[in-house]
Amino acid sequence: MKVFVIGSGGREHAICWKLAQSSKVEKVFAAPGSDGISGENIQSISIEMNAHGELLQFAKEEGVDLTIVGPEAPLVEGIVDVFEKEGLRIFGPTKAAAALEGSKQFAKDIMKKYDIPTAAYETFGEIEEAKAYVKKMGAPIVIKADGLAAGKGVVVAENEEDALHAIDSMMREKTFGEAGSKLVIEECLRGEELSLMAFVHGNTVIPMVPAQDHKRAYDNDEGPNTGGMGAYSPVPHLENEWVDVAEKTVLRPMAEAMMKEGVPFTGVLYAGLMITEEGPKVIEFNVRFGDPETQVILPRMKSDLVDVLEHTLNGEEINITWTDQACVGVVLASEGYPSSYEKGRIVQIPRVDDHLQTWFHAGLKKEGDQWSTNGGRVLLLASLGTTIDEAIANTYEVLHNEKWKGLFYRKDIGHKVK
C-alpha cells in the first residue's frame, strides 16, 4: 500500500513512523512533511495542507490507497469531502462532522441535547453581554474562542479581571482572528484531565488507551496554555475506574448523536475529559489524533495501525493489542513559546536507544548536517519503561545531559501519577 499523511508536526511524525512499520505499507508520503519526518520509506512532499486540489492530484497520480489527516484545519476546511467526492479512501471526518472541533458551540449544543456530561455554558457574540455574564457568574470561569485557535484559544480565568481581559483580547483585539468573534463561557471544572481517543466510523467505536497531557508551559501547571508540553500513558491513578465510564457516557453517545444528527463521524474522536467528583465531564472534543498524546500512545500500540484503520473504515470491531510498558513524552520548545520566539537556533540531537526511545520532530529543519529550530514546539522525546517512573527516568536522563540553548522543557511530566 501507499499511504498519505497530511501534516508536518510531531503528531504526523508519530503517525508516519507507526505506518512505516506495517508489513502492508510500501511507501508513506507526508505533505508538507518535514526534514525530520522523512526517512527510509517516508517521503515528504512540498504541498501545503490548505492546497486541497494539489493534495488530491498528488494522491491520484501516485495511486495512494489511504490518506490520513493529522491536523484539524484541513478537516474543518473540508478536505475529506474533496477526496471522497473523487472516490479516494481517506480517514477523517467530513466538513460537517469536523464542526465538533471547528465550533465549540456546535459541540456544546450537541452534548446538551444528548445529555453528554460537560460544563454548564453560554455562548456570546457581543462583548458587553459576555462581560455581564462573567460579572453575574463570578470567577473562576473559562473563556473559549468558538473557532480554531491552534489549541491556545482557552483562558482559565481565576479572577473576574482576567476573564474580562480575555473577552477584550479575543473579541475586541482579535487575538485569535475570527475564531474569537463568538465566545463560549463555561463553568470551571475541577479535577484531573484525561485524554481518551477512539477510532470511529459511524457507530463503530474502538477506544485507544488513555493519556494525560500537560497543557501549561511551566512546571507545576503554571504559565500560559500551550499546544501541550508533554504527555504520558497509561494513567494508572485514573484509568482503571473511569475509562469504561467515559466510553459509555461520552465516546459512544457522541458517535450515536452524530449519526442521529445526520452527520456521521469517521476518524479519530478525541475527548478531553475532566475527572470531577461527579465523574468524567467533557472539556472539549477534537476530531483528530491529539498532540502530544499520539506520540506516547502509538509507541504502546503493538497492532498494525493500517489494520486498525482498515477495520474501522469497514465498520468492523478490532481488538487493539497494547504493550504493558508505559510511555512518557517531553516536549522541547523554543524559549518564549507559546508567545513570540526566535527561529534558526542550532540544535544537537543526541543518539538514543532505538528500542526504547524515539525523537519526534515538530519544528526543526535541516541545512547540511545541522538541525535548526523552525517552530514553537521543536522536538518530543518519547521513552518506554516497565513503569511510569522508569519511563520518566529514561526520558529525563537524556534531556538533563544536554544544554539545549534557546530551548526549554518541563521537568515534571508524568509526576502526577500517585
| 8 torsion bin: left (phi>0), alpha (psi -120 to 50), beta (else) | alpha
The angle formed by the CA atoms of residues 205, 211 and 217, to the nearest 5 degrees, is 135
Report the pLDDT value the prediction gives residue 225, as an integer from 0 to 100. 83
Q: What is the mean pLDDT of residues 190-203?
A: 95
pLDDT tens readout for residues 129-148: 999 999 999 999 999 998 88
Place 151 in a pLDDT band, splitting at 50, 70 and 90. Answer: low
Q: What is the mean pLDDT of residues 279-296?
A: 96
Question: 369 in helix, strand or coil?
Answer: coil
Cα torsion angle, 226, 328, 189, 203, sign: positive
Q: What is the mean pLDDT of residues 162-180?
A: 90
Q: Report the percent of the chain where pLDDT is more than 70.
A: 100
Higher-confidence residue of 56 and 238: namely 56
Q: Is the pLDDT of residue 240 over 80?
A: no
Higher-confidence residue of 157 and 30: namely 30
Report the pLDDT value the prediction gives residue 85, as an integer from 0 to 100. 98
Place 224 in a pLDDT band, splitting at 50, 70 and 90. Answer: confident
Q: Which of 258, 304, 254 is nearest to 66 (CA)?
A: 304
Q: What is the mean pLDDT of residues 259-273?
A: 97
Q: Are 31 and 96 in contact (CB under 8 A)?
A: no
Report the pLDDT value the prediction gives residue 343, as an integer from 0 to 100. 95
| Distance of alpha carbon 7 from alpha carbon 69, whole angstroms | 7
How high does pLDDT run on average in the chain? 94
Report the pLDDT value the prediction gives residue 395, as an integer from 0 to 100. 97
Q: Is the pLDDT of residue 353 over 90?
A: no
Place 153 in a pLDDT band, splitting at 50, 70 and 90. Answer: confident
Report the pLDDT value the prediction gives residue 155, as an integer from 0 to 100. 86
Q: What is the mean pLDDT of residues 110-129?
A: 94
Q: What is the mean pLDDT of residues 363-385?
A: 95
Report the pLDDT value the prediction gives residue 95, as an integer from 0 to 100. 98
Q: Is the pLDDT of residue 22 over 70?
A: yes
Domains of the chain (ranges, CATH numbers) = 2-94 (3.40.50.20), 126-181 (3.30.1490.20), 192-313 (3.30.470.20), 326-408 (3.90.600.10)
Q: Is the pLDDT of residue 399 over 80?
A: yes
Q: Which of 249, 267, 130, 127 is nearest to 194 (CA)?
A: 249
Place 238 in a pLDDT band, splitting at 50, 70 and 90. Answer: confident
Report the pLDDT value the prediction gives residue 418, as an integer from 0 to 100. 62
| Distance of alpha carbon 38 from alpha carbon 260, whole angstroms | 41
Which pTM was predicted? 0.94
The residues facing 301 across adjacent strands are 322
User: Which of the residue ranges 14-23, 76-85, 169-178, 378-387 would you say has the lowest mean pLDDT?
Assistant: 169-178
Q: What is the mean pLDDT of residues 293-298?
A: 98
**Pairing relation of β-strands 192-201 and 266-276?**
antiparallel
| Distance of alpha carbon 277 from alpha carbon 274, whole angstroms | 10
Q: Is the pLDDT of residue 354 over 90?
A: no
